[in-house]
């Protein structure tokens, strides 16, 4: 039986993204798309040598965006004399971007604790699958360094609602869950027939039919504030499938259509991270234009940078960031004396 057809070949998305980052950090000269798809855990199980890998290539394109959204700088390198040849384009992640600042020092106790942590990480950072992938890369003549002990994974784990939603999706069972939208004082119970679970820009979404609205809707899993519960009602999914592709296409269209401008402090962490976001651009005045899907998620992110960033447009984004910073300032204000 071909490896890609085995039911056990399904690999969790976090493991696939980690394996991709691991391979790109461990190979000094980078990897071509074909080398990635044929060797890296999570892709190779579905790779068809000499066959049609279109859906797998689309998955890789989405994974690239997710990795960059996590703040991991993935570089593309064109071989000399082969400009424009996407088949020979190489992808890599420079370990130098994870070097600690030269002026950062640790106490003896901190060094001891870091040493213990690195011992655990050394044993756990490379799974058997990752070891086999590196061996396969070396067999192809691709140089790989001693793998990435200094790389700490920052991949988001799935929300607790993921597994019950996945189970309901597989059984075609309608679910209910409390959903808290930004600005609401209390969550609202939603009744949904789940059609797809998709990851977009590093966040998980549920796409399904909202039974109360009698229309398809997309829900952010991070806003589900209680355990989803299956009902006794089952449903027939649409013929022909394609729900996941439809959900991702709608989210992509929303992301491309919405733009924000921010002013950042030159040389700050905000300047570095926001300028590296997919679709971002920086003008001569240092103002960064960003694409986004959800104004409240972007407001949370911008507010986390504190004084390093100022939201300019649109107005609702600026207002949302100011509101968050005002609440934070009030929460940390000294108590008034009687």
Q: Where are the domains of the chain?
A: 3-139, 162-254, 258-331
Reduce the DSSP state of residue 179 to 3 states and report it.
Answer: strand
Could you please state the CATH topology (level 3) that the domain comprising 162-254 is classified under: SH3 type barrels. (2.30.30)
Work out the pLDDT band at 96, boundaries 50, 70, 90: low
Is the dihedral angle over the CA atoms 140, 143, 147, 148 positive or is it negative? negative
Asked if residues 144 and 27 have their Cβ atoms less than 8 Å apart, the reply is yes
On the 0-12 / 13-18 / 19+ scale of CB atoms within 10 A, 145 is exposed
Lowest mean pLDDT: which of 103-107, 121-125, 156-160, 203-207? 121-125
Q: What are phi and psi of 77, to 5 degrees?
A: -125, 125
Architecture of domain 258-331: 2-Layer Sandwich (3.30)
| pLDDT on residue 108 | 64
How far apart are the C-alpha atoms of 54 and 74, rounded to whole Å? 21
How far apart are the C-alpha atoms of 309 and 226, rounded to whole Å? 33
Lowest mean pLDDT: which of 98-102, 152-156, 292-296? 152-156
The whole-number average pLDDT for the span 324-337 is: 81
Work out the pLDDT band at 3, boundaries 50, 70, 90: very low
| pLDDT on residue 8 | 43
Segment 219-271, tens digit of pLDDT = 999 999 999 999 999 999 888 778 999 999 999 999 999 999 999 998 888 99
Asked whether the predicted pLDDT for residue 128 surpasses 70, the reply is no
Contacts of 151 (CB under 8 A, 6+ apart): 21, 22, 25, 95, 98, 125
How far apart are the C-alpha atoms of 128 and 115, rounded to whole Å? 23
Q: What is the dihedral of CA 117, 122, 126, 127, to 10 degrees?
A: -80
Question: Which pTM value belongs to this model?
Answer: 0.57
How far apart are the C-alpha atoms of 282 and 255, rounded to whole Å? 18
The whole-number average pLDDT for the span 288-314 is: 95
Q: Residues of the chain with pLDDT > 90: what percent? A: 38
Segment 165-186, tens digit of pLDDT = 999 998 999 999 999 998 888 9
Segment 130-166, tens digit of pLDDT = 555 555 555 445 455 444 444 444 445 568 899 899 9
Asked if residues 164 and 224 have their Cβ atoms less than 8 Å apart, the reply is no
Lowest mean pLDDT: which of 71-75, 128-132, 174-178, 319-323? 128-132
How far apart are the C-alpha atoms of 191 and 41, rounded to whole Å? 36
Look over the chain and give the mean of its residue pLDDT values, rounded to a whole number.
81
């Amino acid at each position: 039986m071909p490896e890609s057809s085995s039911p056990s070949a399904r690999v969790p998305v976090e493991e696939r993204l980690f394996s991709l980052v691991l391979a790109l950090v461990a190979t000094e000269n980078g990897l071509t798309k074909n080398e990635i798809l044929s060797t890296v855990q999570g892709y190779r199980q579905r790779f068809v040598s000499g066959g049609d890998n279109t859906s797998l290539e689309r998955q890789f394109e989405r994974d690239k965006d997710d990795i960059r959204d996590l703040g991991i700088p993935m570089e593309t390198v064109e071989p000399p004399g082969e400009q424009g040849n996407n088949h020979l384009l190489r992808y890599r992640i420079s370990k130098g971007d994870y070097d600690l600042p030269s002026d950062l020092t640790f106490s003896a106790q901190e060094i001891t604790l870091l040493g213990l942590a690195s011992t655990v990480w050394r044993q756990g950072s490379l799974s058997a699958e990752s070891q086999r992938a590196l061996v396969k890369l070396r067999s192809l003549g691709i140089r790989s360094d001693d793998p990435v002990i200094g790389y700490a994974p920052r991949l988001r784990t799935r929300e607790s609602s993921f597994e019950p939603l996945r189970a309901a999706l597989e059984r075609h069972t309608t679910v209910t869950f409390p959903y808290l939208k930004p600005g609401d004082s209390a969550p609202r119970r939603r009744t949904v027939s789940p059609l797809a679970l998709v990851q977009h820009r590093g966040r998980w979404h549920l796409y399904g039919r909202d039974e109360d609205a009698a229309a398809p809707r997309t829900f952010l899993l991070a806003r589900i504030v209680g355990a989803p519960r299956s009902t006794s009602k089952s449903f027939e999914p649409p013929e022909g499938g394609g729900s996941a592709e439809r959900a991702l296409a709608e989210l992509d269209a929303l992301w491309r259509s919405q733009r924000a401008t921010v002013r950042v402090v030159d040389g700050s962490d905000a300047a570095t991270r926001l300028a590296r976001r997919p679709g971002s651009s920086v003008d001569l005045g240092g103002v960064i234009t960003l694409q986004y899907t959800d104004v409240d998620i972007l407001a949370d992110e911008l507010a986390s940078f504190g004084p390093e960033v100022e939201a300019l447009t649109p107005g609702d984004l600026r207002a949302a960031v100011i509101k968050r910073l005002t609440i934070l300032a009030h929460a940390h204000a000294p108590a008034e004396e009687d």
